[in-house]
Amino acid sequence: MKKPPWPTNQETMAPREPTADEAEGIRWWNGLTEPERAKALADAGWKSGVAWTPSAADAWAFHKKKTQAGNVLPFTEKPAP
C-alpha cells in the first residue's frame, strides 16, 4: 500500500495510554459477542448504505448515555432471576 502524501495519525500523535473511560469502553466492546456488537452499532446509528458509520467508540458513548439514563442494562450484566 502506497503511503499517503500527508502525515498519518501514527506520525503526528504521541503514543499514550488509554484514559480510564477508554479502557472501560475497550473492555466493554471486547466482552460483547458479534450479535451484541451489531446491536450496539445499530443502536448508535448504523444503517446499511449511509455515508456515516459509527465506531466502537460511538457505540460506547451511546451505551453510556442509555445506561446512565436507566433505559437499558449494560450488555455485560445479566438481569436478576
Q: Which of 69-77's residues contact partners 24+ apart within 8 Å by CB, and which partners?
A: 74/28, 75/28, 75/31, 75/32, 75/36, 75/40, 76/28, 76/31
Cα separation of 56 and 8, whole Å? 21
Predicted confidence (pLDDT) per residue in 9-64, tens digit: 667 777 889 999 999 999 999 999 999 999 999 998 888 777 778 899 999 999 99
d(CA 38, CA 44): 10
Minimal CA–CA distance to 67: which of 17, 20, 15, 25?
25
Look at 68 and 33; give whichever has higher pLDDT. Answer: 33
